[in-house]
C-alpha cells in the first residue's frame, strides 16, 4: 500500500522523468508472452518506449557486457517467451512498425509439436468444463466467477511439482472437469513453425532457447535430463536456424527456478547470455547469465509499463 501511494504521489507531482533519470544507466529487458488481435495497447506501449527509451537488441546487450560499445542511456530490450504463433500475427507487426528489435525464446518441443504447454491445457479444460466445483489439493474449488483467478490458483502449485507428479495431477483434473484434450495445440495456443522462425529471423528477430519442455530447471538433478533440456534443445534450435543461437531464458525465471548447476549447464552448452525474471535493471558489469527482466503484457494498464520502465516498481 505504501509503494502504491508513493507511485501515486510521483505521478501527481510529475516526477516520473526524474525517477527515470535516476536509472538511466540501467538496461531494462522486458518479457512478453502472448499477443491479442487488438494491437492498440501494444502500439501505445511501443510508442512510449520509442518516446522515452532507446530500443536495443539482446545481441547488442551481450556485446556491451562482453566489453564492446556501451549501451545508450535508457536502453530497453524486448524479449518474448515460449514461441506462440500470435507473436508472428500480432506482436512482430507492431514491434516492426516502431522499429523495436525483439528476441523470442522458444520451447523447442512446442515448436516441434511434441507437446503443448500444460498451463494451456489447464486453461482449455477450465474454460470448457460444465462442472461448477472440483476437488484440488484436498479442498473444494468453485469454478464459478473469475475463471482466470481459479486457473492461477491451480497453476501456481503445479509449477513446483516434478513432470510426473504434475502429469498425474492434470490427468486427475481432466477426469473431474470432463473435457477431452486434443493431441495438438488448438489454434489459439498454436506455436510458430520452424519455417516461420526462419522467416522472422530473416526479418531481424533474434531467437534463443527456452528448453525443450519448459521444466523448472532447479528441480532437475539428473545430468542427462538437464543436458536434454538445455544443450540438446540448443542443438535443435541451431540446426533449424543454421547458425548458433546465443541467448537463453530460464523457465519461470525466478531465483528459485534455477541454480548454479543450471547456470553452468547453460554456459557449457554455448549460450552467451541467459535471462531471469525480477524487477531489476542491468547495469555495467551485470552477470550476463543472470540478466533480470521486467514483466510486460499488452493487457495490463499503460501505467504498469510506465512505472516498471522508470524504476517505480
From the number of C-beta atoms within 10 Å of its C-beta (0-12, 13-18, 19+), residue 83 rates as buried
Q: What is the pLDDT along the chain (313 residues), one digit of tens a residue?
A: 656 766 776 777 678 888 899 999 999 999 999 999 999 999 999 999 999 999 999 999 999 999 999 999 999 999 999 999 999 999 999 999 999 999 999 999 999 999 999 999 999 999 999 999 999 888 888 988 788 888 999 998 998 888 889 999 999 999 999 999 999 999 999 999 999 999 999 999 999 999 999 999 999 989 999 999 999 999 999 999 999 999 999 999 999 999 999 999 999 999 999 999 987 999 999 999 999 999 999 999 999 999 999 998 7
Exposure string for 245-280, b = 16+ CB within 10 A, e = fewer: bbbbbbbbbeeebbbeebbebbbebbbbbbbbbeeb
- C-alpha cell read off for 20: 527515470
The pLDDT assigned to 2 comes to: 54
Sign of CA dihedral 226, 228, 231, 233: negative
Sign of CA dihedral 118, 200, 198, 76: negative
Best CA proximity match to 30, nearest among 77, 63, 71, 87 = 77
Per-domain residue ranges for the chain?
18-112+193-310, 118-177
18-112+193-310 is a CATH 3.40.640.10 domain = no
CB 82 within 8 A of CB 117: yes
Cα–Cα dist 6/16, whole Å: 11
The pLDDT assigned to 1 comes to: 65
pTM: 0.94
Amino acid at each position: 500500500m505504501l509503494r502504491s501511494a508513493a507511485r501515486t504521489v510521483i505521478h501527481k507531482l510529475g516526477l516520473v522523468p526524474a525517477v527515470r533519470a535516476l536509472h538511466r544507466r540501467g538496461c531494462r529487458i522486458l518479457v512478453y508472452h502472448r499477443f491479442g488481435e487488438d494491437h492498440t495497447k501494444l502500439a501505445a506501449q511501443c510508442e512510449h518506449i520509442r518516446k522515452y527509451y532507446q530500443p536495443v537488441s539482446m545481441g547488442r546487450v551481450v556485446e556491451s557486457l562482453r566489453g564492446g560499445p556501451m549501451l545508450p542511456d535508457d536502453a530497453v530490450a524486448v524479449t518474448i517467451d515460449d514461441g506462440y504463433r500470435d507473436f508472428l500475427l500480432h506482436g512482430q507487426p507492431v514491434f516492426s512498425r516502431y522499429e523495436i528489435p525483439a528476441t523470442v525464446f522458444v520451447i523447442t518441443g512446442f515448436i516441434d509439436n511434441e507437446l503443448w504447454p500444460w498451463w494451456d491445457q489447464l486453461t482449455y479444460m477450465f474454460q470448457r468444463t460444465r462442472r461448477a466445483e472440483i476437488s484440488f489439493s484436498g479442498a473444494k474449488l468453485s469454478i464459478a466467477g473469475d475463471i482466470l483467478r481459479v486457473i492461477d490458483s491451480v497453476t501456481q502449485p503445479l509449477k513446483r511439482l516434478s513432470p510426473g507428479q504434475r502429469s498425474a495431477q492434470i490427468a486427475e483434473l481432466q477426469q473431474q472437469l470432463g473435457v477431452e484434450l486434443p493431441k495438438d495445440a488448438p489454434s489459439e495456443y498454436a506455436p510458430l513453425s520452424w519455417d516461420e522462425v526462419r522467416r522472422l529471423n530473416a526479418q531481424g528477430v533474434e531467437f534463443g532457447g527456452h528448453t525443450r519442455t519448459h521444466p523448472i530447471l532447479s528441480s532437475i538433478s539428473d545430468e542427462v535430463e538437464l543436458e536434454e533440456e538445455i544443450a540438446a534443445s540448443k542443438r535443435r534450435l541451431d540446426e533449424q536456424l543454421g547458425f548458433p543461437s546465443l541467448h537463453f531464458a530460464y523457465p519461470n525465471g525466478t531465483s528459485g527456478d534455477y541454480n548454479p548447476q543450471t547456470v553452468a549447464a547453460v554456459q557449457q552448452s554455448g549460450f552467451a547470455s541467459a535471462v531471469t525474471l525480477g524487477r531489476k535493471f542491468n547495469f555495467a558489469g551485470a552477470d550476463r547469465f543472470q540478466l533480470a527482466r521486467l514483466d510486460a503484457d499488452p493487457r495490463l494498464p499503460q501505467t504498469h509499463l510506465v512505472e516498471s520502465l522508470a524504476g517505480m516498481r
